[in-house]
Amino acid sequence: MSQSVSSLDPHSQARARAVTLQLRQSDQLFSVVQDGVMLLDTDAVIVDVNPAATRMFGYSCEEVVGRRPVFLEDSPTQSLLAVIRTALGERGQWSGDFPFRRKDGTTGFSETVVVAQKDADGELIGYLSVFRDVSERHLIEYAVQESESSYRMLFDAHPLPMWVFDVETLHFLDVNEAAIQRYGYSRQEFLTLTIADIRPDSELQKLRALITVDGHSGESRFRDVVHRQKDGTVFEVTVVACNVSFLGRAARLVTACDNGTHGHVHDVHDMIAEQQRRIAELEAQLKITRSGNSSEETPHLSPPASTHVLLVEDDDGVRESLTRMLQKAGLTVASASNGPEALQIWAQSSERFDLLISDGVMPGMRGVELIRRIRQQSPHIPVILISGYMGERLGPDFLGGSISMLEKPFTASVLIQRIRELLPAASTLTR
């Protein structure tokens, strides 16, 4: 039992002992488990917390023992508290994601299980709560939702026909309203077809040749492509296509416009493709948090070594996650949300940066361009380029030397190992 319990009144001490004797099966396990553990008496007063809980909330054990956990809740709704009380009373347990507030005022979400504990006679002696910080998962899920909303808004409202097809089966995966109106198929009908079904029979050999030549690599543009409507009417279009990931499958995003009317088709096409790439990157990052890899112990940098890192990532949730990951390793981190901001930080910083870590796909200025500009000033700066898409566009010369490609998803250990490989000071990176 924690020494802080001795500060309670005798009655509370007795309740605390009853709870801890039943709940604390192993002091060693209680201390080293990575999930937070909180022990409460029958009045929902905290009688003990493990080290993982103190790290998660920022409070010491002495600061929380003897208090009800209401002070940890982030604007709790009465409906949620009522649900928890009802579940404990009816089923003896409750589980779900719960909003919390840390001592420093920052907020997050925990994946929480609360279980009522009884003695050998069936009498309630307290509650055991086990929780894991899933704030990163919530941030990324929100970012995915935002990106999907942006994609749907741009895709569905675009006046030109657009679709996404599977590069292996050639089946349509998604179509916008303009394609439905232009080709005469309903959405449901489209999703049963392949891209060969909107070509005249006389064009199928040409289609196979285009697929072979195109190779589904990078962005392609073809003029004078013959398409066919549902009623058999044929017409010529200009087609712009590029790689995307859709529902976890390799796919191509296609925009079709009548010859001579393409206008600024590339601009909107690129914007929509960017949203799909962002969704895929976020979903890859989400796999890390859902698999539990995000809770692994992060390697750290042993004093007195210090490494200054410039981190560039346009997604707020991913940037915060990577910043925490690097700081846990003992690295000093300056972060930027885009290329121009990174260049400004680079120019104005009084510290010499030892490493640049940049996302590959960002709006406005891509990671490759940012690297080129910074290397004009510091030719030998080591670089880690993080992306799931840029590898095919970078030649071996660009990736050589002190530039390393890191594919998503990855864990903290993989990232720190990559830093260890790039930096001379990385010999001080220890687990």
User: Domain check: are 66 and 200 in the same one?
Assistant: no
Closest CA to 326 of 427, 416, 414, 410: 416
- Which stretch of DSSP H or E encloses residue 47? strand 46-49
Query: What are the DSSP calls for 201-243, one per residue?
Result: GGGHHHHHHHHHHHTT-S-EEEEEEEEE-TTS-EEEEEEEEEE
Query: What are the DSSP calls for 346-399, one per residue?
Result: HHH-SSPPSEEEEES--SSS-HHHHHHHHHHH-TT--EEEE-SSGGGGS-HHHH
User: Domain check: are 395 and 362 in the same one?
Assistant: yes
Taking only the tens place, the pLDDT of each residue in 55-108 is 999 999 999 999 988 888 876 555 676 788 888 888 888 888 888 889 988 888
The confidence score (pLDDT) of residue 1 equals 41
User: Domain check: are 47 and 128 in the same one?
Assistant: yes
Angstrom distance (rounded) from CA 101 to CA 240: 48
- Residue 125 CA to its chain's centroid (Å): 40
Domain end call among 133, 160, 194: 133
Q: If you average pLDDT over residues 230-257, what whole number do you get?
A: 85
Closest CA to 361 of 407, 398, 414: 407
The confidence score (pLDDT) of residue 233 equals 94
The confidence score (pLDDT) of residue 228 equals 94
User: Domain check: are 28 and 97 in the same one?
Assistant: yes
Residue 306 has pLDDT above 80, yes or no: no
Taking CA 264 as the corner, what is the angle to CA 263 and CA 267, rounded to the nearest 5 degrees? 165
Q: In this structure, what token pair is assigned to residue 209? A: 């040749």
User: Domain check: are 128 and 261 in the same one?
Assistant: no
Q: Which amino acid is at 335?
A: S
Q: Which amino acid is at 291?
A: S
The confidence score (pLDDT) of residue 64 equals 93
Q: How many domains does the chain have?
A: 3
User: Domain check: are 73 and 166 in the same one?
Assistant: no
Phi first, then psi: what are they for 40, rounded to 5°? -130, 150
Residue 254 has pLDDT above 50, yes or no: yes
Q: In this structure, what token pair is assigned to residue 421? A: 């490989």
CATH at residue 235: 3.30.450.20
User: Domain check: are 59 and 157 in the same one?
Assistant: no
Neighbours of 379 (CB within 10 A): 8
Question: On the CB side of 297, how many CA atoms lie within 13 Å of its CA?
Answer: 9
* pTM for this model (two decimals): 0.47
Q: Which amino acid is at 79?
A: S
User: Domain check: are 147 and 97 in the same one?
Assistant: no
- Which stretch of DSSP H or E encloses residue 313? none
CATH at residue 353: 3.40.50.2300
The confidence score (pLDDT) of residue 167 equals 86
**242 within 8 A of 253, measured Cβ to Cβ:** yes
Domain end call among 235, 264, 287: 287
Least confident range of 156-165, 283-292, 301-310: 283-292
SS3 312: strand
Angstrom distance (rounded) from CA 140 to CA 248: 16
Least confident range of 92-96, 104-108, 267-271, 291-295: 291-295
Residue 295 has pLDDT above 50, yes or no: no
Residue 261 confidence class, pLDDT cut points 50, 70, 90: low
**108 within 8 A of 140, measured Cβ to Cβ:** no
Mean pLDDT of the chain: 77
Residue 213 confidence class, pLDDT cut points 50, 70, 90: low
3-state helix, strand, coil in the chain (%, to 5): 45, 25, 30
User: Domain check: are 250 and 125 in the same one?
Assistant: no
Q: Which residue has the tokens 């300056």?
A: 334
Q: Which amino acid is at 244?
A: V
SS3 417: helix
Helices (H), 225-307: 265-291
The confidence score (pLDDT) of residue 310 equals 94
Structural domain boundaries enclosing 267: 139-287
Domain end call among 255, 287, 319: 287
Higher local confidence (pLDDT), 277 or 390: 277
Taking only the tens place, the pLDDT of each residue in 6-51 is 444 555 455 545 555 555 555 555 666 778 889 888 888 898 899 9
Query: What burial class does residue 409 get, using C-beta atoms within 10 Å of its C-beta: 0-12 exposed, 13-18 middle, 19+ buried?
Result: middle
Q: In this structure, what token pair is assigned to residue 288? A: 């890390």
Query: What burial class does residue 400 get, using C-beta atoms within 10 Å of its C-beta: 0-12 exposed, 13-18 middle, 19+ buried?
Result: exposed
Q: In this structure, what token pair is assigned to residue 111? A: 């994946």
Angstrom distance (rounded) from CA 184 to CA 229: 6
User: Domain check: are 146 and 280 in the same one?
Assistant: yes
User: Domain check: are 326 and 423 in the same one?
Assistant: yes
Q: Which amino acid is at 262?
A: H
Q: In this structure, what token pair is assigned to residue 53? A: 């809980």
Task: Determine how β-strand 383-386 pairs with β-strand 429-430.
Answer: unpaired
Q: Which amino acid is at 315?
A: D
Select the highest-mean-pLDDT range: 167-171, 327-331, 393-397.
Answer: 167-171
Taking only the tens place, the pLDDT of each residue in 126-156 is 888 889 888 877 777 777 777 777 677 778 8
**142 within 8 A of 216, measured Cβ to Cβ:** no
Please state, for a pLDDT cut of 70, what percent of the chain lies above it.
Answer: 70
User: Domain check: are 302 and 337 in the same one?
Assistant: yes
The confidence score (pLDDT) of residue 357 equals 94
Q: Which amino acid is at 360?
A: G
Residue 399 confidence class, pLDDT cut points 50, 70, 90: very low
The confidence score (pLDDT) of residue 288 equals 56
